[in-house]
Structure 1
Amino acid sequence: MNRFPSISRTITDNLLLKRCLRGPIHHSSIYCFNYLKPIMTMPIPTPNERIRRFKEALSIVYGPFDNILSSSDPESHALSWTPPSSPGAGGHLGRYLWTDAFGVINFITLSKELSCPPYLTLAKRLATTVHDTLGKTRDQTSRLPGATDAEPLKGGLRIGKIHSEEEDPRDGDGQYHHYLTLWMFALNRLALATGEEQWSLLAVQLAKAVHNKFIVRNQSNSQAQRMVWKMSADLSRVLVPTEGHLDAATGFVVYRLLQRTAEHMHGPPGDLVSEIADYRLLIGREGKMRVSNDCLDLGMGLWICHFFRDEDWARTLGSQSLEVGKILLDAKRGIASRDANRRLAFREFGACLGLRCYGCGADQELKESVKGVLEFWQRYLEASTDEDLKPISLVMYAAAGIPGAFEDGYLGRG
């Protein structure tokens, strides 16, 4: 019996085509025009209801975990938990880096919201499982080139696509910069939440390992000139040479967060000065910090801006993005005016997450628009479901409802 049909059967389901997963920040919207029938309107959720929906969304992806936490020894049971591989995060062997990054961060949020440490143990178990799956070759016989059991992230992390890069170089497996930086952020938040420096060291290890693989340098002076969007799983060759819109800006923000935590927790091993200098140079290129009219791109842009909102680049991009956000979410002329079969839920959840992290200021109408998007997706039941696409939608739905560990300062300043 489906315990949470209002989420599990409807959030994106028929609206998302499998190819949408090839890179949610970089690509344009893709629509699927199947008819969805609105059946009921859900009431505005109370705080307890939001937590319930958050937990149940996660449990659909990662299996029921309330029985673990209600046992006589929840910590021991959490330590023995294995994240499910079917369907899991919807990727290769049940792991998909973007989805599982949200999963780790969401478990951290639950641990703080409910004052329940075993959720942190689940987050750690998920992180380790990702490293032991996506940090290995597709046949799982060895670590990715450059990595060892002692340094498991020196070879990067695969995306987790169902198809191999040989089958489909553009849309198959490989490594994405924006997925890697999101995973670095997840490890960084895990370090702050647990106080365990090993997670910070792993985040820095990954950051230093992959940085130069995605940077194209000027041959005359070796300065960073541009980035590439996708590398092969072994990081030996470029699969997609174009540059992701937010890759440099996200690197600039996330690497600085890693550096700050590293200096606080373990000192010199966190030295990312040269990498940060590369990103600073890249975001200074003319026209590279433009506002996007894609919901997910807009939301992730606002999310990175909110960490350094007083800096000129963030202030400019953030304020301009808020104006575009008003238009995108407008009930009469934006996405909210469209039928459900012409909307992409996970991209909208990205916009909601970014707006909630950045803050809508005194703009009550924009705040209501964000609420309206989340409530909208509660109205559609009994839609046909693509099981491969459900996980990414559910974890992003949860984060948009309660941003928690995605927010600056939520776990202190580390």
Structure 2
Amino acid sequence: MALESTEIQTRMERFESAMEKVYGNYRDVSDPSVWTPPPAPGGHHGRYLWTDAFGVVNFLTLYKMHSELKAENGYPERYLTFAERLVDTVHDVLGRTRDGTSRLPGATDSEPLAGGLRIGKVHETGSDGDGQYHHYLTQWMFALNRLSMATGNPTYNRQAYSLGKAIHPHFFVGLGTQSPRMVWKVAMDLSHTLVSSEGNLDPLDGFVTFSLVQASAKKFGDGEVLEEEISNYKKVSDCRGRHHPSPDFLDLGMTLVLVQWFYNEDWAAALASRCCDILKSLFDEGYHLKFGSRRLAYREFGACLGIECFRATVGPDGELYDYLKEISDAMIEQYSDGGTQTPDDLKPITQVMFASALIPGAFQAGFFGPEPIKIGT
């Protein structure tokens, strides 16, 4: 991270302060191995899959940053333990039925993610009821993959591809036809579709995330465990043609996070360019100011995260990239200054994404060293 040490320290303190608003005063925990993440608002039994996926990745960022800074406030490995404890807690809550009495159908003690993972919605049914989202599941797969990359322990990546294999067929329609597509949301037990429309980013998200997990699996000697699944995402993407990013900060930002892994390929470079052009248009129009204090800051932080990942991977120069960075920093500072009113149930997701926007860290390719997907293994 190309910052002076004092600025790094300042950002890290803001980063940790945001994380402690979600996960309690973990810096005061004497034995991380017995730490249990406190329940957070907006999630079932205090757990929400998207929020906690960011939480895991953020703990990994803290591990690496503290390792490099040789911080005096405790051994850096404690942050790995916090990440592992958060993973175990999520699996124990969202990998089970809502009453907690049994694992989700298909899961076993040896394959705890073979039934998928619930979203963690507060309500069981209704338009905003619980179920399983493809993009939340892939975000969790990414977090597990990064945990394996940080620790060198293949267990978490194996959990990631176990999860991927379990959920994959339930989000596809017409795989044997000439025009397969995906669905947005399925039931908690994966038995049926709840929302039949296709998420704009889901095919690309699946292709990239499953490719990352498979590359790590090959590194760990597990082979091409997701080859069929990856080909299915590619088939859907090919049927759709060129990906068209939506004019949404979160969608644009997460697209930039995804394409960094394939930026040496023409399609990824072209897609990144389109995302940057759309972001510039949104910024020029003042879209991020449209809703004032009622804006959904976490979606903007997705854009900030994507911009930082893109810049770190590609190292772009020029007025456009400087402009995007300037606006990104301004949005972060506006939130820091208290210019946004965030509902209680959105505070956890907002805080973890605020931290990621401050220091993308483990979201960036190469943060833990050479990437298997980059070196063709």
Same fold (TM over 0.5): yes
Structure 1 segment 99-248 matched on structure 2, within 5 A: 99-115=51-67, 116-165=76-125, 168=126, 170-218=127-175, 221-222=176-177, 225-248=180-203
1:155 shift after superposition: 0.1
Secondary structure in structure 1 of the residue aligned to 2:344: coil
CA distance in 1 between counterparts of 2:294 and 2:260 reads 30
Q: Deviations 1:100-128 (Å, cap 9, x if unpaired)? A: 00000000000000011110000000001
Q: Deviations 1:154-190 (Å, cap 9, x if unpaired)? A: 000000000003xx0x310000000000000000000
CA distance in 2 between counterparts of 1:61 and 1:120 reads 17
Q: Residues 89 and 99 of structure 1 are in contact (CA less than 8 Å); yes or no, is this contact kept in structure 2?
A: no
Cα gap change, 1:158 to 1:337, in 2 (>3 Å): closer
CA distance in 2 between counterparts of 1:148 and 1:273 reads 24
Superposition RMSD in Å: 1.7
Q: Residues 89 and 392 of structure 1 are in contact (CA less than 8 Å); yes or no, is this contact kept in structure 2?
A: no
Q: Deviations 1:58-111 (Å, cap 9, x if unpaired)? A: 00100001112xx4xxxxx100000112xx263000000000000000000000
Q: Deviations 1:126-168 (Å, cap 9, x if unpaired)? A: 0010001000000000000000111100000000000003xx0
Secondary structure in structure 2 of the residue aligned to 1:136: coil
Q: Residues 294 and 342 of structure 2 are in contact (CA less than 8 Å); yes or no, is this contact kept in structure 1?
A: no
Q: Residues 41 and 344 of structure 2 are in contact (CA less than 8 Å); yes or no, is this contact kept in structure 1?
A: no
1:56 shift after superposition: 0.7
Secondary structure in structure 2 of the residue aligned to 1:377: helix
Cα gap change, 1:312 to 1:184, in 2 (>3 Å): same
Structure 1 segment 14-413 matched on structure 2, within 5 A: 46-68=7-29, 71=30, 77-85=31-39, 88=40, 90-115=42-67, 116-165=76-125, 168=126, 170-218=127-175, 221-222=176-177, 225-268=180-223, 270-287=224-241, 289-330=243-284, 333-338=285-290, 340-341=292-293, 343-359=295-311, 361-362=316-317, 363-380=321-338, 386-412=343-369, 413=371
1:334 shift after superposition: 2.3
1:223 shift after superposition: 6.0
| Unmatched segments (≥5 aa) in structure 1 | 1-44, 72-76
TM-score normalised by L of structure 2:
0.90
Q: Which has the higher helix share?
A: 2
Cα gap change, 1:397 to 1:384, in 2 (>3 Å): closer
Secondary structure in structure 2 of the residue aligned to 1:239: strand
Cα gap change, 1:89 to 1:355, in 2 (>3 Å): farther
CA distance in 2 between counterparts of 1:342 and 1:164 reads 27
Aligned residue-pair number: 352
CA distance in 1 between counterparts of 2:178 and 2:116 reads 23
1:285 shift after superposition: 2.3
TM-score normalised by L of structure 1:
0.82
* Aligned residues with identical type, % of pairs: 50
Higher relative contact order (CA 8 A, sep 6+): 1
